[in-house]
Copies of this chain bind each other. A is one copy, B any other.
Amino acid sequence: MSVAKEFEAANAKYAASFTKGDLQLPPQRKTAVVACMDARLDPARALGLEEGDVHVIRNAGGRATDALRSVIISQQLLGTREIVIVHHTNCGMLTFTDEDLKDKIRADLHQNADHIAFLAFKDVEQSVRDDIKILKDSPLVLDVPITGYVYEVETGKIVRVEEN
């Protein structure tokens, strides 16, 4: 069975007891979370989110550059006024370099991916600091509170990253 079919079965149960059909489009808690796509991180459970609360933007690494389009839409059209960045320990982005991946794509897929910045990193606290700075420095992002965390996949804890 495809995983999609399993999702359909799980969703039938969710929908059967669904009571949140009148939530508004703009996020209730006026916040955008930018987090890694990692399977072990569930932002809703780990941060106490209910449906309707916040935008959740996720990509490989939880990188700000890749989230910029979504952050702009979140702020300009849907009124969010706080940003929380969540990267995590044991991230896949720590295990390769952009050049490694481009070489693999050349070898395995016979394709050139030199036009893509894969945004790998070597230090997860520094990647959080870098991403806070990218958002703070962007003239397209409003001057709002931005807080960064490292989620520990080993403990379930978020640890705040102090800016340098």
Contact = CB atoms under 8 A, between A and B. Distances in A.
Contacts of A118: 69, 72-73
Interface string A27-55: 11111100001111110111111011111
Interface in A1-51: 2-4, 6-15, 18, 20-21, 23, 25-32, 37-42, 44-49, 51
A69 B119 contact: yes
B48 A140 contact: no
A48 B82 contact: no
A60 B73 contact: yes
Copies of this chain, complex-wide, total: 2
Interface residues of A, number: 88
Given A66-B66, A111-B140, 15 more contacts: A3-B82, A4-B160, A8-B160, A10-B48, A11-B48, A14-B45, A14-B47, A15-B156, A21-B154, A21-B155, A27-B39, A37-B56, A37-B57, A56-B58, A116-B140
25 contacts: A3-B30, A3-B31, A3-B84, A4-B84, A4-B160, A8-B160, A11-B156, A12-B157, A15-B157, A21-B153, A21-B154, A28-B39, A41-B51, A42-B49, A42-B51, A58-B59, A59-B59, A60-B73, A60-B74, A66-B66, A69-B116, A72-B116, A77-B96, A105-B140, A109-B140
